[in-house]
Amino acid sequence: MQTEEAIRGRRSVKQYDPDHQMTDDDIQQLLSLALLSPTAFNIQNWRFVVVSDPKLRKQIREVSWDQAQVTDTSLFIVLCANLMAWEQAGRYWVKAAKEVKDFMIPAINEYYRGKEQVQRDEAMRSCGIAAQTLMLAAKSMGYDSCPMDGFDFEKVAELIKLPDDHVIAMFIAIGKGTKDPWPRPGQLNLDEVVIKNSFA
């Protein structure tokens, strides 16, 4: 499937075949593609909590407005981010030339240290990009998907034992859809959302 076709065909599907199982190879391929998502300074701060335990999925569904995707999709991911990934800057530039490392590692420290809002904003940007990578890759492989909020973030954090220096961005549900989504309800025109140079 071409990229344009995947973009046009991707929709947020709500109903899934609970009996369908993705192969380990397909799951590995999807997650490997997600790792190619860009992050600022290459800090790779996303973390993909793949929830396969049926009991845990049921518990998460109970604190997620009873949304069926939590238990019915073939692959259910709690997409999180490590807010402090920047502190391990050397890991992400280990293969870079010395002069690049000597520049990048201090720059990363200066950009993030002591700036909690910047750390959180970066986490959400990174997770958003990774989520779209996952969903487009899934579509290209013949799967449907749904990005999800509508859950109690604190209770889900407890259920997955989220570390204190991590945040949850969203869920990504992936599987075989059983019902087409509603027709697109209405897209804004380009001239309403594309601003040339400045707002005024």
What is the pLDDT, as a whole number, of residue 38? 98
Number of domains, the chain? 1
**What H or E segment, with its residue span, contains residue 90?**
helix 89-92
**Residue 199 belongs to some domain of the structure:** no
Q: Which residue is associated with the tokens 């009991």?
A: 55
Nearest to 19 by CA among 54, 49, 67: 54
Nearest to 91 by CA among 83, 81, 101: 101
pLDDT tens, position by position, 69-86:
999 999 999 999 999 999
**Residue 7 belongs to some domain of the structure:** yes
**Residue 94 belongs to some domain of the structure:** yes
Q: What is the mean pLDDT of residues 189-193?
A: 95
pLDDT band at 68 (very low <50, low <70, confident <90, very high): very high
Domain harbouring 33, CATH code:
3.40.109.10
**Residue 117 belongs to some domain of the structure:** yes
Backbone Cα Rg of the chain: 19
Q: What is the per-residue burial (b if ≥16 Cβ within 10 Å, else e) of 52-67?
A: eeeeebebbbebbeeb
From the number of C-beta atoms within 10 Å of its C-beta (0-12, 13-18, 19+), residue 167 rates as: buried
d(CA 96, CA 30): 26
**Residue 119 belongs to some domain of the structure:** yes
**Residue 198 belongs to some domain of the structure:** no
**Residue 88 belongs to some domain of the structure:** yes
**Residue 85 belongs to some domain of the structure:** yes
Residue 35 CA, chain-centre distance (Å), reads 10
pLDDT tens, position by position, 120-153:
999 999 999 999 999 999 999 999 999 999 999 9
**Containing domain of residue 28, as a range?**
3-193
